[in-house]
């Protein structure tokens, strides 16, 4: 097997969100993939097997579990594919088959890095959260009602992975997951993860559901967040929305997202820097 280490949402090395991309040819057991993801200890690791012309079966793992979709692994994988297989081409378009979703990405070679645009598809709005349930999430996130944005609701939005978006106008620095059963509460509102969005600064934070690891830059949350901001009139469709993330873990990152007006699909754009490539020996 051959692997790359790339930094996503950055055009420079040792910045943005790190990712391991592993190319494999033969069938691989799920447990083995999970063990490899634990070994690399990235927020996510993506495994790629070519199944057609510029078409790849992709499986994504955190150190804890397999995910049906994640954003920064697709962006990083697209750059690695471009570097490994189509390096002589300025632009490369490829398709990814995920567990429950098929999506396309376009890679453009820049000066020393790649710029990737991923089509996350049409967003789904899965419901707002209010009353006692809203209070439960505020407590779980170490926030108060005074921190909430005055006019925007908590809402679950998905472009492949459903996020509970929690809009705030203060308190981002104190936000954290303060309970051990957050996933149980998220399941009740049909969400997988939570994304705390400081609206005045367009800055977000998210964690694994135990609150042990904070993500640097979350591509799978960018599509839902962009769709949410357009729905509630904070941003306009076709406008390039810049979401900031990662400053609290010392890896400030910028994620660009916009709505394709003709289709309503969410497009997420990020730079990728390839920094390591090598052989996996076991």
Q: What is the pLDDT of residues 252-267, one digit of tens each?
A: 999 999 999 999 999 9
**Band of pLDDT at residue 3, cut at 50, 70 and 90:** very high
Rg (CA), the chain: 18
- Confidence band of 282 (pLDDT split at 50, 70, 90): confident
Same fold, 2-120+269-279 and 124-264: yes
pLDDT at 256: 98
Cβ-contact 152, 199 below 8 angstroms:
yes
CATH of 124-264, one of 2.102.10.10, 3.40.50.11540, 3.40.50.10680, 3.10.310.10: 3.10.310.10
Q: How far apart are CA 73 and CA 80, in angstroms?
A: 10
Neighbours of 248 (CB within 10 A): 15
- Mean pLDDT across the stretch 216-233? 98
Mean pLDDT, residues 63-74: 96
Across residues 38-42, what is the average pLDDT? Answer: 96
User: Average pLDDT, stretch 171-191?
Assistant: 98
In this prediction the pTM is: 0.94
Contact (CB, 8 A) for 222 and 185? no
Mean pLDDT to the nearest integer, 168-175: 98
Query: What was the pLDDT predicted at 265?
Result: 97
Q: What is the per-residue pLDDT for 174?
A: 98
Residue ranges covered by each domain of the chain:
2-120+269-279, 124-264
Q: How confident is the model at residue 37 (pLDDT cuts 50, 70, 90)?
A: very high
For 2-120+269-279, the fitting CATH number among 3.10.310.10, 3.20.20.10, 3.20.20.70, 3.30.565.10 is: 3.10.310.10
């Amino acid at each position: 097997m051959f692997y790359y280490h790339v930094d996503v949402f950055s055009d420079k090395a040792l910045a943005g969100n790190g990712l391991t991309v592993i190319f494999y040819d033969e069938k691989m057991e799920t447990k083995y993939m999970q063990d490899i993801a634990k070994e690399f200890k990235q927020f996510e690791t993506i495994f790629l097997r070519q199944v057609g012309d510029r078409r790849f079966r992709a499986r994504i793992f955190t150190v804890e579990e397999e995910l049906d979709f994640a954003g920064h692994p697709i962006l990083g994988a697209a750059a690695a594919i471009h570097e490994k297989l189509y390096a002589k081409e300025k632009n490369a378009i490829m398709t990814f088959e995920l567990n429950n979703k098929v999506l396309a990405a376009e890679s453009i070679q820049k000066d020393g890095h790649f710029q990737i645009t991923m089509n996350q598809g049409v967003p789904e709005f899965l419901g707002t959260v209010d009353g006692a349930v809203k209070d439960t999430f505020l407590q779980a996130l170490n926030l108060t009602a005074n921190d909430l944005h005055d006019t925007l609701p908590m809402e679950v939005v998905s472009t492949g992975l459903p996020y509970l978006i929690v809009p705030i106008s203060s308190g981002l620095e104190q936000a954290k997951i303060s309970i051990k059963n957050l996933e149980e509460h998220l399941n009740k509102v049909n969400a997988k993860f939570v994304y705390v969005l400081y609206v005045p600064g367009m800055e977000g934070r998210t964690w694994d559901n135990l609150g042990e690891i904070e993500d640097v830059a979350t591509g799978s949350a960018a599509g839902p967040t962009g769709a949410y901001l357009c729905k509630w009139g904070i941003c306009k469709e076709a406008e390039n929305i810049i979401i900031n993330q990662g400053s609290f873990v010392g890896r400030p990152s910028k994620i660009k997202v916009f709505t394709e007006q003709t289709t309503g699909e969410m497009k997420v754009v990020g730079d990728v820097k390839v920094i390591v490539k090598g052989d996996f020996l076991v």
